[in-house]
């Protein structure tokens, strides 16, 4: 059987790797972006000089031959679903028995005047970071439109080269549609502390042409201010990269609609990662989750289904992470930007304002629901077990040390946190567990 | 792809963010100190030698402090790797290569042509750069400097001041701060001040010097078991006996115990002088270590070959002098042969046992390691039966001189430090150090230490692997959710420090000591619901 995978990002590559673990099928991975798989999340570090492209490749180049995964650097122009054939831009047609669509995302553009000028781009594919690099010499100011995770990455990239950055963020505080208010304020402060000109409650009106097809300034919608700049970063989110499939027999809404086995409406055609839209997402989850971890889990699940083991896609308990300039962020479970009415919350922030812990719990039965960590590392497995088991808030507070994952000798704040949480919730506690790996191992295997 | 890479000859990286005016001034004042020292070496002096020494080293030290403060402390604490791969100095650009050649040249002169550096021969007065250290040597010993006194002083200076730079750089990370204070302490007191003062107090142990660095141990200290060294120790009275017994305790009791509890990091990145220099002065080049699987293969063959070589050399040396002077030592050649054969077989057996008990126990490794230990034992036994007074039919001197030249000088010195800007800061520790090899075997097979991976949070970005000075592909484990147990890991903790998602933690635990990388750990956290057997 020949399995063709379009897209060599984390989803497509995970599928390929797992198909190889599970079977001897012929595997072909097609991408026009780069010859080899690289870590998309590490693109920023190439521009910042922390790594070269070479270092962002998670597998050495010999890996693909050794595992008999054929790589094709070409672009798929059309898919003939009836004839199970891909027509390629450069090479000959490719016939497949099963097809995996791991097409990724494309940058959102909202019809702004000037959005297609030179020196205007998002940050999603490898060519975007090349584009940034190409236009960096002589860059006096960059304007970034949109506040999410990519926006702050782009700001950090430009700041690493001492290029002044203005960020236009529609919300009244950074990423407050996802982060609770306190965390959102912390990051807003931190952004300003890095000398980034953060404009909250501000939107893009238009981008000006310098007469040669290059962006030279932006106009802001609310203040009406015009700001000169030589680069405009569009980071107001992404959408599934499926425009080119909309006129086909494939069922495409916002993304490619898939069932719980990640199969599309067409037999033997699967869609995974950013481009997939789940027809029945799990309760509390979105139907499109354009994040690294979801892509990886989907990739593995698709491989099982392709190899004849029927497995439902189950992303488990929500988790995610990011780094906002110097502040690491981890989230486990249910921590929405605006608190659901069945939840209560406990929040502790370090006096210096760069570390915080939030625990959400069910108001009626005190069972923990989620953790938000800023500048403090928590153990994924411990948090997940607490949430899955419906552990009581009191028990979590008593064993809080089990979750701490900060490096050795770091100051621990558990005592302060417990005190603060106990005052907020009225729950009394006794300290039970210390931060010792043996206890963690025992807890996790119990 | 970057059009930003600076391969120019400019002194400093032109990236304005990386180097501002004050930082450049700081570097210039350091270079001024270096020039003053250089002029003195060339015979041009403005002041007395003592004054020149003080001015030159104060300038260099202060400029490093000033630079570190400006470069790191005036900015928010955080990962400071901006522009590393754009820097000519740090990414094998012209400046990096020049520095590599200069350092290598310096070591060649130091080991084999000290007179070029100004070492006075046969009682003649020192000239050149070595004479700059005469006043300080006079304070300690009441006599002019040797090239080794100069080297020790420079070495300690480098660890102290680059250590402070390192602390500024990683000030958000207390593990790094405390670890660096530790290597600074051990270098300044145990390796430098205490031995220099002790030998000064004892009239320099004129003609019967022995190593008084409390942390130096066999087999890194390959001179330990040589006849002159043992003789000098045992003839030095109580203090000699103290060092003799302590050295044996260190090798056979203290070191195995600490490695069992904390992994080899207790020595390699907290105590050791070679490690200390690599972690401080060598830090700008840590990312240059080769991460490829081929480099790993070469590493395993090379470091264990050196280990075997050091074993054989030591056995040969001891055996030879036990024979030469049977009246002097209570241990006979026969007794020694029996002890070593017993020790080797015990080592081979425990290696096989531990290797088998470990999750990834590998038969070939068992055959290879046990085989070579047994082979050495058989050779030794045959030699005792049929041989002359020499061990391995060759004699200790042949082994000693080739080990001293190839391993002691060429590998650990010339290549070990000279190649910092080309192959990264841990070339010696990774490919050559027999001490690291022994501790590594123990770390892999019988130690509580491991680097834990935090569930499914890895994003495969590669910062951990890139900044691993030992060339471990940390990411290859982290992205599988697997804990990391590698013989070569020195536990510097930088992978954990540069991880943007809080995925890695250095830990000690006894509960799963033989299955630290077991499948249940390796199962991805995200695989809930897909925990089914692989098809084959």
Q: What is the per-residue pLDDT across B486-506, written as a single tens digit (0 to 9) for each?
A: 999 999 999 999 999 999 999
Please say if the pLDDT value at position B288 is more than 50: yes
Number of independent structural domains in chain B: 3
Whether B87 is covered by a domain: the verdict is no
Window 301-330 of A: residues touching B by CB (8 A cutoff) are: 301, 304, 307-309, 311-312, 314-316, 319, 321-323, 325-326, 328, 330
Chain B, 177 to 206: residues with Cβ < 8 Å from chain A are 178
Residues in chain A: 446
Q: In terms of domains, do B441 and B477 share one?
A: no
- 337-356 in A: which are within 8 Å (CB) of B? none
Same domain, A223 and A124: yes
My answer on whether B200 and B212 are in the same domain is: no
Chain A residue whose CA is closest to B523: A381
pLDDT digits (tens, 9 = 90+) for A340-351: 999 999 999 999
Interface residue B4 vs chain A (CB under 8 A): yes
Is the CA virtual torsion A44, A50, A56, A58 positive or negative?
A: negative
Distance, in Å, from the CA atom of A19 to the CA atom of A302, rounded to the nearest integer, reads 9
User: Please, are residues A156 and A269 in contact by the beta-carbon 8 Å criterion?
Assistant: no
Indicate if B58 and B165 belong to the same structural domain.
yes
Residue B269 pLDDT exceeds 80: yes
- A311 CA to chain B: closest CA distance, Å? 6
- In a domain, residue B94? The reply is no
Query: How close, in Å, is residue A206 to chain B by CA atoms?
Result: 30
Whether the Cβ atoms of residue A50 and residue A39 lie closer than 8 Å to each other: no
- Closest CA in chain A for residue B535: A22
- Whether the Cβ atoms of residue B442 and residue B348 lie closer than 8 Å to each other: no
Question: Looking at the domain assignment, is residue B445 inside a domain?
Answer: yes
Strands A105-107 vs A238-240: parallel, antiparallel or unpaired? antiparallel
Decide if pLDDT at B330 tops 80. no
| Token code pair at residue A302 | 């698709």
Say yes or no for a CB contact (<8 Å) between B2 and A133.
yes
- Which pTM value belongs to this model? 0.93
A354/A371 same-domain check: yes
Q: Could you tell me the pLDDT band of residue B363, with boundaries at 50, 70 and 90?
A: confident
Mark whether B462 and B327 lie in a shared domain.
no
pLDDT score recorded for residue B262: 96
pLDDT class of B324 with cuts at 50, 70, 90: low
Residue B364 lies in a domain: yes
Q: Does residue B244 sit in the same domain as residue B368?
A: yes
Neighbours of B397 (CB within 10 A): 12
Q: B431: part of which helix (H) or strand (E)?
A: helix B427-431
CB contact under 8 A, B454 and A405: yes
Q: How far B183 CA lies from chain A's nearest CA (Å)?
A: 16
User: Which residues in chain B (479-518) have CB-CB distances under 8 A to chain A?
Assistant: 479, 493, 496-498, 500-502, 505-512
Question: Pick from A212, A236, A260: which residue ends a domain?
Answer: A236
On whether any CB of chain B is under 8 Å from the CB of A51, the answer is: yes
| Residue A273 falls inside a structural domain | yes
CATH of the domain at A327: 3.30.390.30
Q: Are residues B430 and B462 both part of a single domain?
A: no
Residue A174 sits in the same domain as residue A140: yes
Instruction: Report residue B359's pLDDT band, with 50, 70 and 90 as the boundaries.
Output: low
β-pair type (A368-374, A269-271): unpaired
pLDDT at B5 over 50: no
Chain A (409-428) residues lying within 8 Å, Cβ to Cβ, of chain B:
409-411
B188 and B238 part of one domain: no
Provide the pLDDT confidence category of residue B206 given band limits of 50, 70 and 90: low
Please check the confidence at residue B526 and state whether its pLDDT lies above 70: no
| Spatial separation of the C-alpha atoms in residues B135 and A291, rounded to whole Å | 64
Cβ of A45 within 8 Å of Cβ of B463? The answer is yes
Whether residue A390 is found in the same domain as residue A279? no
Q: Which domain holds residue A190?
A: 120-236
Q: Is the domain of A211 the same as that of A252?
A: no
Smallest Cβ–Cβ distance between A326 and the set B76, B476, B502 belongs to B76
- pLDDT at position B395 is 66
- Which of B457, B463, B499, B519 is the best residue to mutate to test the A interface, defined by the most A CB atoms within 10 Å of its own CB? B457
- Give the residues across from A332 on adjacent strands: A319, A371
The verdict on residue A295 lying in a domain is yes
Distance of alpha carbon B470 from alpha carbon B448, whole angstroms: 20
For residues B496-517, one letter each, b for 16 or more C-beta atoms within 10 angstroms of the residue's C-beta and e for the rest, the string is: bbbbbbbbbbbbbbeebbeebb
Contacts of A319 in chain B (CB under 8 A): 455-457
One domain, residues B179 and B268 = no
- Shared domain check, A276 and A421: no
pLDDT of residue B20: 80
One digit per residue, pLDDT tens: chain A, 446 residues? 999 999 999 999 999 999 999 999 999 999 999 999 999 999 999 999 999 999 999 999 999 999 999 999 999 999 999 999 999 999 999 999 999 999 999 999 999 999 999 999 999 999 999 999 999 999 999 999 998 999 999 999 999 999 999 999 999 999 999 999 999 999 999 999 999 999 999 999 999 999 999 999 999 999 999 999 999 999 999 999 999 999 999 999 999 999 999 999 999 999 999 999 999 999 999 999 999 999 999 999 999 999 999 999 999 999 999 999 999 999 999 999 999 999 999 999 999 999 999 999 999 999 999 999 999 999 999 999 999 999 999 999 999 999 999 999 999 888 888 888 888 888 887 777 677 888 888 888 88
B82 interface with A at CB cutoff 8 Å = yes
Same domain for A372 and A345: yes
Query: Looking at B147, B175, B207, which one is the last position of a domain?
Result: B207
Q: Give yes or no for a contact between B240 and B292, defined as CB atoms under 8 angstroms apart.
A: no
Tokens read off for A283: 């309760």
Q: Are residues A337 and A434 in the same domain?
A: yes
Could you give the CA distance from residue A144 to residue A170 in angstroms, rounded to a whole number? 12
Q: Within this chain, do residues A162 and A200 fall inside the same structural domain, yes or no?
A: yes
* Residue B14, number of CB atoms within 10 A of its CB: 14
Can you read off the two tokens belonging to residue A336? 């929405």
B521, B508, B517: which is closest to A445 by C-alpha? B521
> In the A/B pair of chains, how many CB contacts fall below 8 A?
200
Residues in contact with A106: Cβ distance below 8 Å, sequence separation at least 6, in sequence order: A122, A124, A238, A239, A240, A241, A243
Judge whether A192 is closer than 8 Å to chain B, CB to CB. no
Q: Which domain does B521 fall in, by range? A: 450-527
| pLDDT (average), residues B174-199 | 94
Residues B182 and B311 both lie in one domain: no
Cβ-contact B37, B52 below 8 angstroms: yes
Mean per-residue pLDDT for B137-142?
89
Beta carbons of A41 and B461 less than 8 Å apart: yes
* A246 within some domain: yes
First-to-last alpha carbon distance for chain A, in angstroms, is 42
Structural domain includes residue B1: no
A49 with B479: Cβ contact below 8 A = no
Q: Is residue A159 part of a domain?
A: yes
Higher pLDDT pick, B409 / B323? B409
Establish how many alpha carbons lie within 13 A of residue A10's alpha carbon, considering only the half-sphere containing its beta carbon.
23
In a shared domain, residues A338 and A420: yes
Domain boundary among A281, A306, A331: A306
Of A1, A2, A5, residue with least CA distance to A302: A5
Q: Which residue has the higher pLDDT, A230 or B536?
A: A230
What per-residue confidence (pLDDT) applies to B110? 95
CATH of the domain at B497: 3.30.70.20
Cα A259 to the chain's mean position, in Å? 22
- Residue finishing a domain among B186, B207, B228: B207
| pLDDT above 50 (res B298) | yes
- What mean pLDDT value characterizes chain B? 87
Q: Is A66 on the interface with B (CB under 8 A)?
A: no
**A327 located within any domain:** yes
Q: Is residue B120's pLDDT more than 70? A: yes
Residues B410 and B461 in one domain: no
**In this structure, are A254 and A198 located in the same domain?**
no
Q: In Å, how far is A50's CA from the nearest CA of chain B?
A: 5
Instruction: List the beta strands (DSSP E) in A74-186.
Output: 76-80, 85-88, 94-95, 98-101, 105-107, 120-121, 142-145, 165-168
Smallest Cα distance from A79 to chain B, Å: 30
Q: Are residues B216 and B311 in the same domain?
A: yes
CB contact under 8 A, B457 and A380: yes
Q: Is residue B308 part of a domain?
A: yes
Residues of A in contact with B78 (CB under 8 A): 325-326
| Residue A195: count of CB within 10 angstroms of its CB | 10
- Is the peptide bond between B219 and the residue preceding it cis, with omega within 30 degrees of 0? yes
C-alpha dihedral sign at A222, A224, A228, A232 = positive
Instruction: Kindly indicate the confidence band of residue B205, based on its pLDDT and cuts at 50, 70 and 90.
Output: low
Same domain, B420 and B517: no
In a domain, B469, yes or no: yes
Judge whether residue B360 has pLDDT over 70.
Answer: no
Number of domains observed in the structure of chain A: 3
Give contacts of A381 with chain B, Cβ < 8 Å.
454-455, 525
Is there a domain that residue A314 lies in? no
Residue A337 lies in a domain: yes
* Structural domain includes residue A404: yes
Q: How many CB atoms lie within 10 A of CB B5?
A: 16
- What would the pLDDT profile of B217-266 be if each residue is shown by its tens digit? 888 888 888 888 888 888 888 888 999 999 999 999 999 999 999 999 99
More confident residue, B339 or A105: A105
Residue B4 is assigned to a structural domain of this protein? no
**DSSP state for residue A40 in the 8-state scheme:** G
CATH number where A293 lies? 3.50.50.60
Of the residues B449, B474, B509, the one at which a domain ends: B449
Mutation to test the B interface, candidates A56, A196, A405, A439, most B Cβ within 10 Å: A405
Min mean pLDDT across A199-203, A349-353, B103-107, B333-337 is at B333-337
Residue A384 in contact with partner chain B when CB distance is under 8 A: yes
Same domain for A385 and A324?
yes
Residue of A nearest to B506 (CA): A407
From A272, A306, A340, give the residue that closes a domain: A306
DSSP code of residue B307: H
E strand or H helix at A270 = strand A269-271
């Amino acid at each position: 059987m020949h399995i063709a995978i379009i897209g060599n990002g984390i989803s497509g590559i995970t599928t390929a790797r797992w198909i190889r673990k599970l079977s001897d099928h012929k595997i072909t991975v097609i991408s026009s972006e780069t010859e080899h798989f690289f870590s998309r999340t590490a693109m920023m570090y190439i521009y910042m000089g922390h790594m070269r492209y070479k270092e962002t490749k998670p597998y050495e180049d010999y890996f693909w031959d050794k595992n008999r995964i054929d790589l094709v650097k070409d672009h798929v122009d059309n898919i003939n679903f009836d004839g199970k054939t891909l027509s390629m831009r450069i090479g000959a047609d490719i016939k497949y028995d099963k097809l995996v669509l791991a097409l990724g995302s494309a940058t959102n553009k909202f019809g702004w005047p000037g959005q297609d000028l030179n020196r205007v781009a998002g940050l999603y594919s490898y060519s975007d970071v090349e584009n940034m690099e190409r236009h960096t010499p002589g860059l006096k100011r960059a304007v970034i439109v949109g506040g999410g995770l990519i926006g702050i990455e782009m700001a950090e990239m430009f700041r690493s080269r001492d290029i002044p950055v203005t960020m236009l963020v529609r919300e009244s505080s950074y990423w407050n549609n996802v982060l609770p208010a306190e965390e959102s304020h912390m990051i807003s402060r931190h952004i300003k502390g890095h000398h980034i000109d953060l404009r909250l409650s501000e939107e893009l009106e238009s981008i000006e042409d310098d007469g040669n097809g290059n962006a030279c300034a932006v106009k802001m919608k609310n203040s009406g201010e015009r700001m000169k700049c030589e680069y405009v970063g569009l980071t107001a989110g992404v959408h599934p990269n499926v425009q080119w499939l909309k006129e086909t027999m494939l069922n495409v809404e916002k993304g490619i609609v898939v069932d719980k086995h990640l199969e599309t409406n067409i037999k033997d055609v699967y869609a995974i990662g950013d481009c997939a839209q789940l027809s029945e997402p799990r309760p509390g989850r979105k139907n499109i989750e354009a994040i690294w971890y979801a892509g990886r889990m989907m990739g593995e699940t698709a491989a099982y289904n392709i190899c004849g083991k029927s497995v439902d896609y189950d992303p488990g308990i929500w988790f995610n992470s990011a780094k906002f300039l110097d502040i690491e962020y981890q989230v486990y479970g249910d921590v929405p930007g605006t608190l659901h009415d069945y939840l209560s919350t406990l929040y502790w922030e370090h006096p210096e304002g760069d570390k915080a812990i939030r625990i959400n719990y069910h108001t009626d039965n005190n069972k923990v629901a989620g953790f938000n960590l800023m500048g403090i590392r928590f153990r994924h497995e411990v948090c997940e077990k607490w949430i899955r088991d419906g552990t009581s808030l009191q028990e979590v507070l008593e064993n809080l040390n089990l979750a701490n994952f900060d490096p050795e000798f770091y100051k621990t704040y558990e005592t302060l946190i417990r005190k603060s949480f106990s005052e907020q919730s009225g729950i009394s506690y006794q300290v039970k567990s210390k931060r010792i790996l043996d206890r963690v191992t025992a807890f996790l295997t119990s | 792809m970057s059009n930003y890479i600076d391969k120019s000859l400019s002194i400093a990286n032109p990236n304005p963010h990386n180097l501002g005016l004050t930082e450049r001034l700081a570097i210039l004042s350091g270079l001024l100190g270096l020039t003053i020292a250089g002029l003195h070496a060339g015979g041009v002096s403005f002041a007395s030698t003592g004054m020149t020494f003080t001015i030159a080293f104060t300038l260099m030290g202060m400029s490093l402090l000033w630079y570190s403060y400006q470069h790191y402390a005036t900015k928010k604490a955080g990962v400071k790797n901006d522009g590393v791969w754009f820097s000519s100095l740090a990414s094998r650009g012209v400046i990096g290569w020049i520095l590599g050649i200069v350092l290598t040249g310096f070591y060649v002169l130091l080991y084999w042509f000290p007179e070029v550096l100004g070492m006075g021969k046969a009682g003649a007065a020192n000239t050149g750069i070595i004479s700059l250290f005469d006043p300080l040597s006079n304070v300690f010993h009441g006599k002019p400097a040797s090239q080794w006194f100069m080297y020790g002083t420079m070495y300690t200076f480098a660890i102290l001041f680059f250590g402070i730079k390192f602390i500024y750089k990683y000030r958000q990370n207390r593990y790094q701060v405390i670890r660096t204070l530790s290597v600074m302490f051990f270098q300044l007191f145990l390796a430098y001040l205490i031995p220099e003062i002790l030998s000064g107090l004892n009239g320099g142990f004129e003609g019967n010097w022995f190593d008084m660095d409390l942390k130096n141990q066999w087999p890194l200290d390959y001179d330990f078991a040589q006849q002159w060294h043992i003789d000098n120790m045992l003839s030095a009275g109580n203090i000699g006996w103290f060092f003799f017994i302590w050295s044996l305790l260190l090798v056979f009791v203290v070191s195995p115990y600490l490695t069992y509890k904390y992994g080899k990091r207790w020595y390699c990145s907290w105590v050791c002088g070679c490690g200390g220099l690599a972690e401080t002065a060598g830090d700008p080049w840590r990312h240059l270590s080769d991460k490829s699987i081929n480099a790993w293969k070469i590493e395993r063959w090379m470091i264990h070959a050196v280990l075997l070589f050091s074993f054989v050399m030591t056995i040969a040396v001891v055996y030879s002098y036990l024979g030469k002077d049977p009246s002097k030592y209570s241990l006979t050649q026969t007794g020694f042969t029996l002890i070593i054969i017993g020790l080797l077989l015990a080592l081979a057996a425990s290696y096989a046992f531990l290797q088998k008990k470990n999750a990834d126990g590998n038969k070939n490794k068992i055959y290879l390691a046990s085989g070579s230990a047994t082979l050495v034992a058989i050779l030794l036994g045959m030699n005792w039966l049929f041989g002359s007074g020499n061990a391995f039919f060759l004699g200790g001197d042949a082994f000693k001189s080739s080990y001293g030249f190839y391993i002691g000088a060429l590998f650990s010195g010339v290549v070990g430090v000279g190649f910092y800007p080309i192959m990264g800061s841990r070339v010696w520790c990774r490919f050559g150090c027999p001490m690291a090899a022994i501790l590594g075997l123990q770390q892999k097979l019988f130690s509580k230490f491991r680097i834990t991976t935090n569930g499914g949070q890895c994003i495969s970005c590669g910062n951990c692997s890139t900044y691993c000075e030992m060339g471990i592909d940390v990411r290859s484990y982290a992205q599988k959710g697997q804990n990391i147990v590698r013989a070569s890991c020195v536990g510097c903790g930088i992978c954990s420090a540069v991880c943007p998602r809080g995925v890695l933690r250095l830990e000690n635990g006894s509960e799963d000591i033989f299955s630290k990388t077991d499948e249940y750990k390796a199962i991805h956290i995200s695989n809930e619901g897909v925990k089914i057997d692989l098809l084959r």
